[in-house]
Amino acid sequence: MPAVPAAVEAVLRVALPLPLPRLFDYRAPPAWRADQAAVGCRVRVPFGPRELVGVVAATGPADPAAPELREVLERLDPEPLLHGELFASLQWLARYCHAPLGEVLATALPAALRRGEPQPDTRTWAWRLTEAGNTAQAAMRAGRPKRLADLLHAAPRDEEALDDLLEGWRGAARTLAGRGLVERVAVPASQLAPAPGAGPEPNPEQARAIGAVLASTGFAPLLLDGVTGSGKTEVYLHAIADCLARGRQALVLVPEIGLTPQTLARFRARLGVPVHALHSGLNDAERARVWSAALRGEARVVVGTRSAVFTPLPEAGLIVVDEEHDGSYKQQDGIRYHARDFALVRARALEVPVVLGSATPSLESLHNAGSGRYLHLRLSQRAGNARPPPVRVLDVRKRALDNGLSRELLEAIDAALAADGQVLVFRNRRGYAPVLLCHDCGWSAQCRRCDAAMTVHGGGRRLQCHHCGHRQAAPPACPDCAGLALQPQGVGTERLEEMLMQRFGARVPVLRIDRGSTRRRDALQKHFETLGERPGLLVGTQMLAKGHDLAGLTLVAVVGIDEGLFSADFRAAEKLAQLLIQVAGRAGRAERAGEVLLQTHHPDHPLLQTLINGGYHAFAASELAQREEAGFPPFAHMALLRAESRHADPPMAFLQRARALLAEAASRSGDSVDGGLVLHGPLPAPMARRAGMYRAQLPLSALQRRDLHLALDRALPAIHALPEARRTRWSLDVDPVDL
State in angstroms the smallest separation of the CB of 303 from ligand ADP.
14
Distance CA 545, CA 586 (A): 7
381 near ligand ADP, rule: CB under 6 A:
no
# residues near Zn ion by CB under 5 A: 15
State in angstroms the smallest separation of the CB of 280 from ligand ADP.
22
Q: Which one of the spans 34-42, 196-204, 336-344, 520-528 is the region binding ligand ADP (CB under 6 A)?
A: 196-204
Q: Which ranges of 252-378 does DSSP label H, i.e. alpha helix?
A: 261-271, 284-295, 339-350, 363-370
Among 229, 490, 560, 633, binds ligand ADP (CB under 6 A): 229
| Consecutive H or E run containing 435 | strand 435-438
Among 107, 137, 216, 233, binds ligand ADP (CB under 6 A): 233
State in angstroms the smallest separation of the CB of 487 from Zn ion.
11
Give the count of beta carbons closer than 10 Å to the beta carbon of residue 531.
20
Q: Which one of the spans 217-225, 401-409, 481-489, 490-498 is the region binding Zn ion (CB under 5 A)?
A: 481-489
Residue with smaller CB distance to ligand ADP, 277 or 696: 277
Closest by Cα among 619, 628, 630 to 577: 619
Closest by Cα among 7, 16, 8, 220 to 105: 16
Among 91, 203, 525, 731, binds ligand ADP (CB under 6 A): 203
State in angstroms the smallest separation of the CB of 346 from ligand ADP.
23
CA angle 217, 218, 219 (to 5 degrees): 120
Closest by Cα among 646, 737, 642, 739 to 698: 642
Distance CA 339, CA 310 (A): 9
Q: Is the dihedral of CA 341, 346, 349, 353 positive or negative?
A: negative
Distance CA 57, CA 443 (A): 58
Question: Residue 440 binds which entry of Zn ion, ligand ADP, none, with Cβ cut-offs from 5 to 8 Å by kind?
Answer: Zn ion
State in angstroms the smallest separation of the CB of 324 from ligand ADP.
12
# residues near ligand ADP by CB under 6 A: 15
Binding residues: 438, 441, 447, 450, 465, 468, 478, 481
Question: Residue 312 binds which entry of Zn ion, ligand ADP, none, with Cβ cut-offs from 5 to 8 Å by kind?
Answer: none
Question: Residue 384 binds which entry of ligand ADP, Zn ion, none, with Cβ cut-offs from 5 to 8 Å by kind?
Answer: ligand ADP
The interface mask with ligand ADP, positions 333-372, x = CB under 6 A, is ----------------------------------------
528 near Zn ion, rule: CB under 5 A:
no
Question: Residue 467 binds which entry of ligand ADP, Zn ion, none, with Cβ cut-offs from 5 to 8 Å by kind?
Answer: Zn ion
Residue with smaller CB distance to ligand ADP, 360 or 645: 360
39 near Zn ion, rule: CB under 5 A:
no
Residue with smaller CB distance to ligand ADP, 271 or 737: 271
592 near ligand ADP, rule: CB under 6 A:
no
Distance CA 605, CA 595 (A): 21
Among 100, 133, 156, 202, binds ligand ADP (CB under 6 A): 202
> Taking CB under 6 A as the criterion, which residues in 74-103 touch ligand ADP?
none
What separation in angstroms does the CA of 483 have from each of 148, 433, 453, 459? Answer: 69, 20, 19, 20
What separation in angstroms does the CA of 164 have from each of 151, 160, 167? Answer: 12, 7, 7
588 near ligand ADP, rule: CB under 6 A:
no
Closest by Cα among 318, 293, 576 to 428: 576
324 near ligand ADP, rule: CB under 6 A:
no
What separation in angstroms does the CA of 716 have from each of 662, 725, 730? Answer: 8, 11, 12
What separation in angstroms does the CA of 234 have from each of 16, 78, 299, 379? Answer: 43, 41, 21, 12
Straight-line distance from the first to the last Cα atom of the chain, in angstroms, rounded to the nearest whole number: 60
194 near ligand ADP, rule: CB under 6 A:
no
State in angstroms the smallest separation of the CB of 232 from ligand ADP.
3
Among 11, 235, 478, 732, binds Zn ion (CB under 5 A): 478
569 near Zn ion, rule: CB under 5 A:
no
What separation in angstroms does the CA of 351 have from each of 31, 159, 217, 343, 476? Answer: 39, 37, 8, 12, 64
Among 30, 200, 458, 692, binds ligand ADP (CB under 6 A): 200
Give the count of beta carbons closer than 10 Å to the beta carbon of residue 67.
7
285 near Zn ion, rule: CB under 5 A:
no
Question: Residue 229 binds which entry of Zn ion, ligand ADP, none, with Cβ cut-offs from 5 to 8 Å by kind?
Answer: ligand ADP
Question: Residue 465 binds which entry of ligand ADP, Zn ion, none, with Cβ cut-offs from 5 to 8 Å by kind?
Answer: Zn ion
Closest by Cα among 65, 63, 78 to 10: 63
Binding residues for Zn(2+): 438, 441, 447, 450, 465, 468, 478, 481
384 near ligand ADP, rule: CB under 6 A:
yes
Distance CA 314, CA 86 (A): 9
What separation in angstroms does the CA of 538 have from each of 160, 262, 387, 530? Answer: 34, 19, 21, 12
Residue with smaller CB distance to ligand ADP, 229 or 650: 229
Q: What is the DSSP code string of 163-197? A: HHH-TTHHHHHHHHHHTTSEEEEEE-GGGGSPPPP
**Inter-axis angle of helices 407-418 and 493-504, nearest 10:** 60
Residue 51 pairs in a beta bridge with 46
Question: Residue 57 binds which entry of Zn ion, ligand ADP, none, with Cβ cut-offs from 5 to 8 Å by kind?
Answer: none
Residue with smaller CB distance to ligand ADP, 110 or 361: 361
480 near Zn ion, rule: CB under 5 A:
yes
Q: What is the DSSP code string of 115-161? A: TTPPPPP--EEEEEE-HHHHHHGGGPPSSHHHHHHHHHHH--EEHHH
Distance CA 735, CA 228 (A): 28
Among 59, 206, 428, 554, binds ligand ADP (CB under 6 A): 206
226 near ligand ADP, rule: CB under 6 A:
yes
State in angstroms the smallest separation of the CB of 525 from ligand ADP.
16
State in angstroms the smallest separation of the CB of 231 from ligand ADP.
3
Question: Residue 233 binds which entry of Zn ion, ligand ADP, none, with Cβ cut-offs from 5 to 8 Å by kind?
Answer: ligand ADP
Among 456, 465, 611, 716, binds Zn ion (CB under 5 A): 465
Give the count of beta carbons closer than 10 Å to the beta carbon of residue 536.
22
State in angstroms the smallest separation of the CB of 728 from Zn ion.
20
Residue 253 pairs in a beta bridge with 304, 321
Among 92, 219, 443, 635, binds Zn ion (CB under 5 A): 443
Is residue 339 within 8 A of residue 329, CB to CB? The reply is yes
DSSP three-state, residue 614: helix
Distance CA 493, CA 432 (A): 6
227 near Zn ion, rule: CB under 5 A:
no
What does the CA dihedral 576, 582, 585, 590 come to, rounded to 10 degrees?
Answer: -160
47 near Zn ion, rule: CB under 5 A:
no
Q: Which one of the spans 155-163, 227-235, 371-379, 473-481 is the region binding Zn ion (CB under 5 A)?
A: 473-481
Closest by Cα among 128, 123, 122 to 162: 128
687 near Zn ion, rule: CB under 5 A:
no
468 near Zn ion, rule: CB under 5 A:
yes
Residue with smaller CB distance to Zn ion, 404 or 651: 651
Residue with smaller CB distance to ligand ADP, 225 or 514: 225
383 near ligand ADP, rule: CB under 6 A:
yes
> Taking CB under 5 A as the criterion, which residues in 483-502 touch Zn ion?
483
Distance CA 283, CA 275 (A): 17
450 near Zn ion, rule: CB under 5 A:
yes
* Site residues (vs Zn ion, CB under 5 A): 438, 440-441, 443, 447, 449-450, 465, 467-468, 470, 478, 480-481, 483
* Site residues (vs ligand ADP, CB under 6 A): 200-203, 206, 226, 228-234, 383-384
